[in-house]
Structure 1
């Protein structure tokens, strides 16, 4: 029904209600869903079949005895293709506070609609198409009785959400994550592209350590102390995160170094004895 877990996640994300935003490969989950109205979160782990492994991944941190000390989502879910969850493990998942979301594939839906059309006629088929949800159960809605299906784990603190929706593939093998460090690193790369060099102050303002940049030869020293240029193995985060790179670049006016600070930093330095 789905070629891979990545295809399963993509189909699910495409059918999300408008009030929910999907953050792929975030906070240790294949997908972290965030509700716009109140910030409620659902941590989603995807598998091609419901098994013990995906349940362990979905509940990670809850029953360790220290789970309340760490940021976590309000709800937990396992995403599987329709028909890929046995009744026994679904019951176990319910006891663990994990909702099993069954996703219908395009091919399965078309085959079912064709069968309905042949049996009941085209008009019934059209009504069936409009009414049937792509996945079940529905996500929790404010003001509705969702507690019968969705267990609220009431974390002391919710997962930290990146400032930008990661432009990565949810459910992919060995995915690249848009961490807070990467967002800061992208800012350094943008400053370097625009100005031709970066300074010690740039690293302080962005809030990132510069030592790793020299260890990895992403930057190189210049004759002017405190100014650095691209190294022989320059970091290329534009290729790794093309969408996010463009978004952060578009927000340059919001986070760029202050002009007065930059001018003070770029004043000629006295020569070393």
Structure 2
């Protein structure tokens, strides 16, 4: 491909979020992987359904040293037993891999995404994701970092846009906060016992300064400044609400 055509392909993605969306559409069509956007400091964290094998991915419209450094392990002996994915990768537009030898040498896979597929049979990116029974050549494409333990995945797949600027993240704290909000929807109030049961610090909620909750005869009801977690994460909010009987404090 000529330099002009490579530049044209790269320019067809208006943002890193669009690049991620195109890649995720192809991955989800495959059905073998679950994609966790904006999770564990990765733009995308993939987990293979069959065995939990993980790929951590950072996305960039141009491959550069910053995104390469961002994809590597933290240095030092103290981080040797920290959590991490089985493989690490950077996601870029098709035809923009200018550091192939460097990335291969340090164990990073470069995933290139096509702006458009020319036929339904195309997967839309290269290389293919590693399968359970990888061919011998796969070891040259996907370097396994062999972490002591994999990342702990959230109980719910985040309903956020991967690669977005200043992304809204679905953290474990946010999941617990949604449970408090769902309890309010269901019961009309919460108590200190609910915070203990769910495992979230009550002080931020009950502070007179935040006004997230207000005291109503020893019970706490929704305050004027409580965040709208349902608007932030509508799909996950509904999923947590549907699971209410599994986690809510019995009354």
Q: Same fold (TM over 0.5)?
A: yes
Q: 1:195 to 1:104 in 2, by over 3 A?
A: same
Equivalent in the alignment of 1:104? 114
Q: 1:184 pairs with 176, 179, 184, which one?
A: 176
Query: Which piece of structure 1 moves more, 30-39 or 249-258?
Result: 249-258
Q: Partners of 2:77 and 2:62 in 1: how far apart?
A: 28
Cα shift readout 1:96-123 (whole Å, capped 9, x = no counterpart): 11000010011xx4xxx5xxxxxxxxxx
Q: What is the CA distance between 1:71 and its match in structure 2?
A: 1.0
Q: What is the CA distance between 1:60 and its match in structure 2?
A: 3.8
- Native 8 Å contact 2:195 2:201 kept in 1: yes
Q: 1:230 to 1:130 in 2, by over 3 A?
A: closer
Q: 1:44 pairs with 39, 57, 66, which one?
A: 57
Equivalent in the alignment of 1:143? 133
Equivalent in the alignment of 1:124? none
Cα shift readout 1:113-167 (whole Å, capped 9, x = no counterpart): 5xxxxxxxxxxxxxxx255431111111111232121111010110011111100
Q: Give structure 2 stretches of 5+ with no counterpart.
A: 1-11
Equivalent in the alignment of 1:209? 201
Q: Give structure 1 stretches of 5+ with no counterpart.
A: 114-128, 263-273
Per the normalisation by structure 1, the TM-score is: 0.82
How many corresponding residue pairs?
234
Q: 2:26 pairs with 9, 15, 37, which one?
A: 15
SS in 2 for 1:202: helix
Equivalent in the alignment of 1:33? 46
- Native 8 Å contact 2:26 2:123 kept in 1: no
Equivalent in the alignment of 1:76? 88
Q: Partners of 1:144 and 1:98 in 2: how far apart?
A: 17
Q: Partners of 1:82 and 1:159 in 2: how far apart?
A: 28
Query: Which piece of structure 1 moves more, 160-169 or 67-76?
Result: 67-76
- 1:119-130 aligned within 5 A: 129-130=119-120
Cα shift readout 1:180-222 (whole Å, capped 9, x = no counterpart): 1111110100111221110111111111110011232211112
Equivalent in the alignment of 1:6? 17
User: Is 1:200 matched up with 2:201?
Assistant: no
Equivalent in the alignment of 2:3? none
CA RMSD of aligned residues (A): 1.3
Equivalent in the alignment of 2:78? 66
Equivalent in the alignment of 1:268? none
Query: Which piece of structure 1 moves more, 141-150 or 96-105?
Result: 141-150
Q: Partners of 1:65 and 1:78 in 2: how far apart?
A: 25
- 1:227-238 aligned within 5 A: 227-238=219-230
Equivalent in the alignment of 1:122? none
Q: 2:215 pairs with 221, 224, 227, which one?
A: 221
